[in-house]
Amino acid sequence: MLWYALIAVAMSGVLGWLAAHQGLAPLRAMKAKAVAVSGHQFSERMPVQAVPVEMADLAGELHGMLDRLQDDCHRLSEFSSDLATNCASRSATC
């Protein structure tokens, strides 16, 4: 009788681990996409349709955040370019 209880506990643990592992797979996929994002590459996106409904809001918000970061980096790059051009033209006139 004790053996059956031990086997049941072990099987419950394994099945629980498998269920949790499968349930967290979309988060691991989102993490892999997030790792691919850098200051020069903001194009990596997780398709919102590919994640469960519970995580679709998170994926949408992450997309919005990446869009804002991409826009800010683009504006900063333009500002730096304008500043360098302005400084170079002022140096040339001196």
pLDDT in tens, 44-81: 777 778 788 888 888 888 888 888 988 998 899 899 88
Count structural domains, the chain.
1
Tokens of 9: 């506990």
For residues 44 and 37, give the distance between their C-alpha atoms in angstroms, rounded to a whole number.
6
Domain span at 55: 2-93
Task: Evaluate if residue 94 carries a pLDDT over 60.
Answer: no
